[in-house]
Amino acid sequence: MNYRKATPDDCELINSIAHRIWAPTYQHLMSPGQLAYMFEMMYSPDNLRRAMIEGGQTFMIFSLDGDDVGYVSYETLPDHDFYLQKIYLLPGLQGRGSGRRMLESLLDHLRSVDPAARRLGLNVNRRNLKAVWFYLRNGFEIMHRRDHHIGNGYHMNDYVLERDI
């Protein structure tokens, strides 16, 4: 599995990959209205560009055998910490070790951009048990719960997880 750093020119590609991942991942956790609202908020090409240019997110596109199959985005925080905004892989590749390889590649990348890198944090929907177990198996710890309003009357009910880099 290979990756490359995404640029604003890749926003259409990330949107296309997300279209193939988003509904199968979340259709059992959210209403159709919330799915549509959140997808637009996070994955419209304009919002992706804003996240890259103004929001300080770095995106990495992962490929396998020449096909783009997933992506990661992260933010650099103070004190050598990082926040994992997104890690998504096509459903057909999940459960085969590719997600773990994506996470390991991200950790290696973070160590290379900041040799003093300390912690990686993230939020995950508490009802997304498949993802919760993925993170726990890969060294993350649940730090606390977070419930927050995301707009349009919708709320997210997350675990906040962290692990050493």
23-52: pLDDT as tens digits: 888 888 888 888 898 888 889 999 999 999
Supply the angle between the helices 11-26 and 32-43 in degrees, to the nearest 10.
Answer: 160
What the chain holds in terms of domains, given with CATH numbers, is 2-121 (3.40.630.30)
Pick from 52, 92, 76, 85: which is nearest to 13 by CA?
52
Find the angle CA(140)-CA(126)-CA(51) to the nearest 5 degrees: 75
Q: How confident is the model at residue 154 (pLDDT cuts 50, 70, 90)?
A: confident
pLDDT for res 157: 87
pTM beyond cutoff 0.85: yes
77-108: pLDDT as tens digits: 999 999 999 999 999 898 899 999 999 999 99
pLDDT for res 22: 86
- What's the mean pLDDT when you consider all of the chain? 94
Q: Which of 89-98, 110-119, 154-163 has the highest mean pLDDT?
A: 110-119
